[in-house]
Structure 1
Amino acid sequence: MSVSSNQRSEVQFLCSICLDVVTDPVSTPCGHNYCKNCITQHWDDKDHCQCPVCKKVFKTRSDLDNNTFIREMSDQFRREAQQEASSSSSEQQAAKPDVPCDVCTGTKLKALKSCLVCLASYCQTHLEPHQTCSRLKRHQLMEPVENLEDRMCRKHDKPLELFCRTDQTCVCMLCSVLDHKTHELVPLREEYEGKKAELGKTEAEIQLMIQKRRLKIQELKESMKISKDAADRETAEGVQVFTALMESVQRGLYQLVEEIQDKQKTTEKQAEDFIKDLEQEISELMKRSSEVEQLSRSEDHLHLLQSFSSLKTAPPIKNWTKVRVRLPSYEGTLMRAVHQLKNTIRTQMKKLLAESELMKVQQYAVDVTLDPDTAHPDLILSVDNKQVHDSDEEKKVPDNPEIFSYCLSVLGRQSFSSGRFYFEVLVKGKSGWDLGVASESINMEGDVRLSPQDGFWTVWLTDGTEYKAIGSPPVRLHLQSVPKKVGVFVDHEGGLVSFYDVNTAALIFSSTGCCFTDKLHPYFGPGLNDGGENSAPLIICPVSHAV
């Protein structure tokens, strides 16, 4: 793994508080990872529990789950970083140029040390006098370097052994008593250690800034992805809506043209019928004209007189003086077509927008099952805990505060303390039911009052015709159609509970400004069996994401 690729991957395993690879990693309910000590101390210093990344606020201090996967990956990154650091150090060491021994003649061997007093570098053989001779042992040796002259004071030809903090320059011992005697002087090693620590701090600050910017890049990329996904969804919905509208306009145009053409064809048919009758009469009149002309030329007195009487009977003909073709009137045709199209588009727009809104909440669909431990004893639940109906048999109610002892109701097993969720219930064939959500802390004993003040947000049907939204007082609902399947949507942070007619995508009712102080459970009331009139079960359905 290259250093650059390791750094790119490592960003995904950084704690956003300490900005280092996570140690003892834990995950918050919103899915972000932190060092256990970092997030614990962060929450200890705050008035409320909030995720530092997504800013989601938790009503209660959530349990932190150990993330073994992140732990393994962070340990792996540390090992790889150490290996790369060791490899880099070796490479740097290997990259150092060999300093030749200044004493060797012919082939010069590699120097092991450089002497700051002699200003020369020595191989193992020629270094021996400095290791054995007492006078030479006092000389200052160091790792072999080139250009030893640069380490000598140019003014006094002495080794640069001190650092003048006043002038920020390296000086020799003579400089310290002559030119810098009133200045603050420290040994080179002491200043070296200080500057090295300062460089280490600077490097740490730089790395911190790098890590912060890498995290910001990740954040921006995630924002870009979220924005692109939202844009793609809106584009797809826009194409669907406008395509449907254009099809409506096209159908309206076809209907207008067809109406005009039908009127024109009717007029043409009438005129053609008149012309046909006229041509028939002309033919008969021309025949009579020929007979009259022929008889008028006869010189036979007897023949003319005998034939004249038959000419008096003229063939039946129509009086065409007042006959007219009824021309069609097109006045108002276009306006009526436009008005009808406007109404059609308005209706279709309302339907398309409702479908779009329903599809948006359907993306928050969750799998819901019934909780038998909360069901009234008279209720019958299916084996898969997806259906419930009244048995029409009264059973003894046990003394248990965790079940509905009076209301024919049951809660969903799942609970939700944040975010959004949605589920659908088939109510077809029922004359009574109530649906919605209930707070985990509701009172389930006795005659429960279904109201928001008591932790219930529901709608209900009674007598097969009357729909109401539970409130103080209840709100009567006027629905255009009878719902066969009802969708329930909850926005916990937004304080919203909405009910939808899934088949028509129509909004049945929305309760806004709700205050949820506890976990919410789906709530189901199938109603009394009513002698078989309301025996159909409430059925929790999978969400098909299609209207």
Structure 2
Amino acid sequence: MRREATILKSFNEKRKMEIRRKELHSEFEEIKVSLVKEHDVICDSLLVEENDAEEKLTENQRQISDHLFVLQNLLNEVTEKCFQGDLDVLTGIENIYNTCENLKAPAVCSHEFKKSFRLPPHYFGFQRMMSTFQEDLTLDPETAHPSLTISRDRKSVIFSRMHPGFIDNPHSLSFYPAVRSCEGFDAGRHFWHVEVRGTGALSLGVCEESFPRDGLRSPTPRMGCWEIRQFCGSCSTWNTEVQQIGVFLDYELGQVSFYNLKTRSHVYTFTDKFTEKLMPYFSVDPSSQAVTISIVIDQ
């Protein structure tokens, strides 16, 4: 029986490796297709720019050639005056002088190549990352700080004053005004989209399932919490009224990445070694004025 169990375990491990190998092959094929498409788009854009630059260079050459022609004629006229008498020189010199005074340098056209070409983030683009790895998260009221109010659909959280009749929950985060999601991840890749409205400070990220609720440990990577702190409103570094934030977790790679989805730009990435289940983590600063964090599902 033990030998059969060992053989079965070995078979299952080989099967998992084969499935993983096929998944990696599929992903690399998609990356290749994405890169080919990006290459074609960039080449087409460069061709348009190249034609535009050539037209401007041709126009520059024409204008410079015309200007040289005018200068050569003036030089010939001045040379001829050198061999004429005083009266002939005086009668024609005014026209030459006025022509020189009114002569303008050719208007040379300039061209500046665009620098907007870049490969898609993570080589497979935001859209694929959102559609392939998106998670439908729900906030867990059992873990919510007493000063946080969770919406009925458990998709939004806002800071509010603690209710007088509040009964302490052994699972709630009692020190930091934070809440976790019901879902946790101990493998794979996962993405969630967060929308933030209001003015103030907030924190987003993941924390270990064993991260204590009493606040005796600070929410830092060393203590099992990987979060970024952001400010929204008039002084926001995101520079927009409604923040669109993407969080991407790659458990095996040991990375938690944050993106500004409005500008499709990378904000920050934590790199570490994860050893236990990670829970999406949301926190609203007590000083915030009606900051609402909402989980968004992209269609």
Contact 1:420–1:492 (8 Å) recurs in 2: yes
| 1:327–1:257 Cα change, 3 Å | farther
State the AA in 1 paired with 2:147: D
| 1:431–1:239 Cα change, 3 Å | farther
| 1:39–1:522 Cα change, 3 Å | farther
State the AA in 2 paired with 1:234: I
| 1:356–1:41 Cα change, 3 Å | closer
Q: Distance in 1 between matches of 2:230 and 2:246?
A: 15
Contact 2:137–2:181 (8 Å) recurs in 1: yes
Q: Distance in 2 between matches of 1:428 and 1:255?
A: 44
Query: Which consecutive aligned stretches of 4+ in structure 1 deviate over 6 angstroms post-superposition?
Result: 37-40, 264-271
Q: CA RMSD in A?
A: 4.2
Are 1:493 and 2:290 counterparts?
A: no
Are 1:328 and 2:102 counterparts?
A: no
| 1:463–1:246 Cα change, 3 Å | closer
Contact 2:232–2:243 (8 Å) recurs in 1: no
Q: Distance in 1 between matches of 2:162 and 2:212?
A: 22
> How far did 1:420 drift?
1.8
State the AA in 2 paired with 1:543: D
What's 1:395 paired with?
163
What's 1:237 paired with?
34
Contact 1:267–1:328 (8 Å) recurs in 2: yes
Contact 1:374–1:402 (8 Å) recurs in 2: yes
What's 1:511 paired with?
270
What's 1:524 paired with?
282
What's 1:53 paired with?
14
Gaps in structure 2 of 5+ consecutive residues: 69-93
Q: Distance in 2 between matches of 1:375 and 1:39?
A: 49
| 1:354–1:248 Cα change, 3 Å | farther
> How far did 1:320 drift?
3.9
What's 1:144 paired with?
none
Matches within 5 A, 1:66-81: none
What's 1:370 paired with?
139
Gaps in structure 1 of 5+ consecutive residues: 1-36, 57-218, 272-317, 468-478
Q: Distance in 1 between matches of 2:56 and 2:179?
A: 58
Contact 1:373–1:402 (8 Å) recurs in 2: yes
Q: Distance in 2 between matches of 1:39 and 1:431?
A: 61
| 1:349-389 per-position Cα deviation (integer Å, ceiling 9, x unaligned) | 26x44674544543222111111111122222222111111
Matches within 5 A, 1:111-510: 226=23, 229-260=26-57, 319-320=95-96, 323=99, 326=104, 328=106, 337=111, 340-341=112-113, 344-345=114-115, 347-349=116-118, 352-353=120-121, 356-359=124-127, 361-362=129-130, 363-391=132-160, 393-396=161-164, 397-446=166-215, 449-462=218-231, 484-510=243-269
Structure with larger Rg = 1
Contact 2:199–2:232 (8 Å) recurs in 1: no
State the AA in 2 paired with 1:528: P
Contact 1:354–1:506 (8 Å) recurs in 2: no
| Corresponding residue SS for 1:427 | strand
Contact 2:248–2:256 (8 Å) recurs in 1: yes
Contact 1:499–1:510 (8 Å) recurs in 2: yes
Contact 2:198–2:233 (8 Å) recurs in 1: no
State the AA in 2 paired with 1:523: Y
What's 1:41 paired with?
5
State the AA in 2 paired with 1:417: D
Contact 1:376–1:410 (8 Å) recurs in 2: yes
State the AA in 1 paired with 2:106: P
Contact 1:354–1:507 (8 Å) recurs in 2: no
**Whose RCO is larger (CA < 8 A, sep 6+)?**
2
Identity of matched residues, %: 24
Contact 2:249–2:255 (8 Å) recurs in 1: yes
TM-score by length of 2: 0.72
| 1:224–1:387 Cα change, 3 Å | closer
Contact 2:232–2:238 (8 Å) recurs in 1: no
State the AA in 1 paired with 2:14: V
The structure richer in strand per residue is: 2
| 1:110-152 per-position Cα deviation (integer Å, ceiling 9, x unaligned) | xxxxxxxxxxxxxxxxxxxxxxxxxxxxxxxxxxxxxxxxxxx
| 1:227–1:424 Cα change, 3 Å | closer
